[in-house]
Amino acid sequence: MEALDGKLFTPEEAAVLQEVILHRRDVRGNRFVDRLLEPAAIDQIITAGLHAPSVGFSQPWEFVIITDRGVRGKVRDSFDEANAAATQIFSERDQEYCRLKLEGILESAVNIAVFYKPNKNGTVLGQTSMPEVGLYSVVCAVQNMWLMARALNIGLGWVSILDPEKVKGIVGAAAESKLVAYLCVGYTDGFYASPELELLEWERRKDRDSVIRKI
């Protein structure tokens, strides 16, 4: 076993991480600007995802980087279909819902589809009682990517109003793969000081005491 000689961080570095976390935002299509995303920046974001924690060190993820506008157009069509159905669900808030720009599939520089790929080689350490933690591991990768993008002052938006099976077929993912996140990534004209849905009063931030228990 090697010595415990991993890097230790300073309070100042921890404070920077806290700032990145507090200022992370879901960026929508009306905020992206027409500017190419450098390959090095895309690599940094993907690398952050690759270094996420995963149960049993299973690393059950696949990242599909999509620049082709024809492919993205097909994904946008899937969004339009799913969004039309969602509009009916939120009919009581129809005007508010229709004002929301919920995706940036065509406006962003790059799309990244993130998939969960089940392990084909047998049982995974740590997943015998809770197999769903494989999916949660991929969500950890998405969070890493989001924080790295924000640290680079790059916008990232998670589009969840999609038909996952249609998207899987559009991007040529394996049959056993499961779409976890469809991300729109690119430079923006700025970031809101607070989450946009909070500013629009779509939802309110929950009180800390309502979500924390001590026993």
- Which domains does the chain possess? 26-202 (3.40.109.10)
Question: What pLDDT digit, counting tens, does each position of 12-66 carry?
Answer: 999 999 999 999 999 998 899 999 999 999 999 999 999 999 999 999 999 999 9
Question: What pLDDT digit, counting tens, does each position of 113-124 carry?
Answer: 999 999 888 789
What's the CA gap between 146 and 126, in Å, rounded? 26
What's the CA gap between 47 and 26, in Å, rounded? 20
Asked whether the predicted pLDDT for residue 90 surpasses 80, the reply is yes
CA-closest candidate to residue 162, choices 154, 170, 173: 170
The backbone torsions φ and ψ at residue 117, rounded to the nearest 5 degrees and listed phi first, read: -115, 110
pTM of the model: 0.94
- Angle CA(199)–CA(201)–CA(207) in degrees, nearest 5? 90
β-partners of residue 110 are 185
Question: What pLDDT digit, counting tens, does each position of 121-156 carry?
Answer: 878 999 889 989 999 999 999 999 999 999 999 999
3-state secondary structure 16-62: HHHHHHHCCCECCHHHECCCCCCHHHHHHHHHHHHCCCCHHHCCCEE
Whole-number average pLDDT of the chain = 94
CA-closest candidate to residue 113, choices 57, 53, 170: 170
Judge whether 139 and 32 are in contact, CB under 8 Å. Answer: no
pLDDT on residue 201 = 87
Judge whether 155 and 185 are in contact, CB under 8 Å. Answer: yes
Determine how many CB atoms are found less than 10 A away from the CB of residue 177: 19
